[in-house]
Amino acid sequence: MTDTAELIDNDFLRQYELKVENEMAVIEYSLQERKIFLTKMVIPDAINSDGFEKEFLAMVFDNIKERNISVVPTSPEIAKFVRSNRKYKRMLPVGIRI
């Protein structure tokens, strides 16, 4: 489902956007001193199929990793994703545990 979709970092609205089937999934963030705080995730029911959330989050985390900044997940569902994906735990700032 996300194969043809393009992840957009809308820095004006401070959110990652992924448009799929005329619906838009969004992760809001706040960027402060080499840290990005992922604060809220909104996925419309029409596109929230099995695995979509994980694919969307993986795309966002891979984008952040390319930018070489730390991630602080403040949303419960994003924190759960980090807990279940060991490779993304390394992106947490020093002293942050999930």
Residue 28: exposed, middle, or buried by beta-carbon count in 10 A (0-12, 13-18, 19+)? middle
> pLDDT value at position 53?
92
Are 2 and 37 spatial neighbours (Cβ–Cβ below 8 Å)? no
The pLDDT tens digits for 36-70 are 999 999 999 988 887 899 999 999 999 999 999 99
Residue whose structure tokens are 């089937």: 21
Q: At what angle do helices 76-84 and 52-66 cross, to 10 degrees?
A: 80
**Would you say 35 and 69 are in contact if contact means Cβ atoms under 8 Å apart?**
yes
Where are the domains positioned within the chain? 7-89
Distance, CA of 41 to chain centre: 8
* Residue 80 pLDDT > 80: yes
Q: Report the predicted TM-score, pTM, of the whole model to 2 decimal places.
A: 0.90
Percent of all residues in the chain with a pLDDT value above 90, rounded to a whole number:
73
- CATH for 7-89 is 3.40.630.30
